[in-house]
Structure 1
Amino acid sequence: MKIQATFLLIAAVVICLAAHGLCLANPKITRCRCVKVSSHFIHPRKFQHIDIFPQNSYCRKVEIIITLKDDAKICVNPQAAWVKKVINILTERK
């Protein structure tokens, strides 16, 4: 009887965690990456690379993270005019 109660308790905990997505979800992507965004112009010569993360179930906004050559990461506003121009130029090259 004691083993059955223990098994029942463990099963209940696993079901609760699964219902909240804690068992299956990657904890690194369960929220937006950018807390604060910048609209200030950053010259493309300083870029190392750009990461664009579309909307998903964890974050309801598009996020653009620019990694600079000194490894600093900056979240930029995807609605800023200069960001749109940079993205258009990069997509035209491909």
Structure 2
Amino acid sequence: MNCKITFIALTILMFSGHLTDGLMRMDLRCKCIKTRLNFISPKHMKNIEIIPRGPHCPNVEIITTLKKGKETCLNPEAPWVKMMVERILKRREDH
């Protein structure tokens, strides 16, 4: 009897969105709501992550972690971002 009640409760939570919010949608949506267009010097960047478009998000996402620890989404259409991504990809090909 307890298993049946637990199953029903979990089913209700899942359909209401409370359980799926934390488990399912975390990786199934875009991480970047806003993007930054203005230039950031690479010397202020600690890391850069390029996330290709896919079923989770229709946009290419470029996220940099600044040396101060703040994550910032870069606009992939900005000319300076395009040039930086090309350099990164070229380095990866060379290695």
> TM-score, normalization: structure 1?
0.73
Which residue of 34, 40, 58 corresponds with 1:42?
40
- Please give the root-mean-square deviation of Cα atoms over the aligned residues, in Å: 3.0
Q: Which residue of 1 aligns with 2:27?
A: 29
Runs (5+) with no aligned partner, structure 2: none
Higher helix proportion, which one? 2
Runs of 4+ in 1 over 3 A off after TM superposition: none
Unaligned runs of 5+ in 1: none
Deviations 1:33-85 (A, max 9, x none): 01111110000111101111111112111111010111111101101100011
Q: Determine which structure has more spread, i.e. the larger CA radius of gyration.
A: 1
Counterpart of 1:57 in structure 2 is 55
2:66 maps to which of 65, 68, 72: 68
- Secondary structure of 1:85 counterpart: helix
1:83 corresponding residue in structure 2: 81
Q: What's the TM-score, normalizing by structure 2?
A: 0.72
